[in-house]
Amino acid sequence: MRSSSLLLLSFLVGVCDIQGALGFRICAFNLHHFGDSKSKKSDVMQTLTRIIARCDVCLLQEVRDSKEKALPQLLDSLNRYDTDHVYDAVASERLGRSESYKEQYVFVYRTGAVTVTGEYQYPDDLPGDVDAFSREPFVVRFKAPKTGECSDTFPLKMMKIMVMFKHLSLCPLLSSVIKEFVLIPQHTTPTNTTKELDALYDVLQRVRKMWKTENVMLLGDFNADCGYLAKKNRKHVRLITERNLYWLIPDKTDTTVRAATSCAYDRIVVHGESFDRAIVPSSAKPFNFQMEYQLTEEQALEVSDHYPVEVLLKDLPKVTSNGASSLTLTGTQETANQKTTQSKFLSLFVASHLALQMLTQ
């Protein structure tokens, strides 16, 4: 019986690894002065559309759309490019201390994958630290039911019947999926990076208390490397020193496009062990669109001087109405990849069942 249990656990791990390779993708992208001028460049807009269409939720930064035409154009481009999904956006007000320079935080998301359940513009009014940010975080809460449901349907029900583990509840083994989460964006001012990163910890605590949630992700262009965040100053940043915060983009990662620089400016941080367990291992990374789309450095810099950073949340197998099992695909995955993944899933299932029969004879 012990061997059977180990085999079943091994099978479940295999299934999670396959599904984790797909996952629910959250991205953060500094678009570098995205506004009317950039939106008129068709080749740039095409590349931006391809990049953002890979994500279920994508935070956009440095949106300087004062004429309010560039963002609608981008959404229109996304919906024409990826007809399998419907894209919408939620945006902050225009933020910044200077009247001549303001930015917006924008979350572009697939309406079939998530719903917006809350918005909060941080007022930056903490006593003793008023106006800590140049661009105060625009916090958004999302519900993403497709990131996992544990029910008594196939394949879990089928496995229980075949393996005769009716007394064993498999739901706790798959409890790391996150259905609702909060995203806190931040594009720090380079000259004030240490102070703003530390102040993000206060934002985190307020959001946790306000919405009674532990599932919080902080993401964006933190300018958290090279000359903007000296090593000697890291001990003064609670977002770094406090426990229960997981920095997913390693310090030595290069999130910049220019070959002359190598800095981990753009980061993703999650709060809490449960959220950390819901992350597909090693999935947090920059997306090198220059290499992916075979662009020259000059062409890539027309798009942005930053690579987007991304991370995958674990998904569970999708259950169809006839009891068959398939895998939920997110992003613009090719049909061939879907077929390959489904074949692997079925192969694992059959192999595990045959091996289990041999062990129990």
- Catalytic residue (one of 103, 136, 196, 310): 103
Structure tokens at 158: 């089928």
The CA distance from 58 to 119, in Å, is 16
Q: Quick one: tokens of 286?
A: 């920059």
Chain-centroid distance of CA 258 in Å reads 24
Q: Hunting for tokens 């819901």 — which residue is that?
A: 278
Q: How far apart (Å, rounded) are the C-alpha atoms in residues 306 and 258?
A: 8
Say whether 187 is catalytic.
Answer: yes
| Burial of 207 per CB tally in 10 Å (0-12, 13-18, 19+) | buried
Residue 167 annotated to the active site? no
Selected catalytic residue, list 187, 196, 306, 310: 187
Are 306 and 256 within 8 A, CB to CB? yes
24 forms beta bridges with 313
* Cα–Cα distance, 38 to 236 (Å, whole number): 38
Instruction: Write the DSSP symbol of residue 187.
Output: -
C-alpha span between 20 and 313 (Å, rounded):
7
What Cα–Cα distance (Å) separates residue 306 from each residue in 101, 131, 263, 290? 20, 27, 10, 10
**DSSP for 244-281, written as a single string:** TEEE-S-TT---BS-TT-----EEEEEESHHHHHTBPT
Active site residues: 103, 187
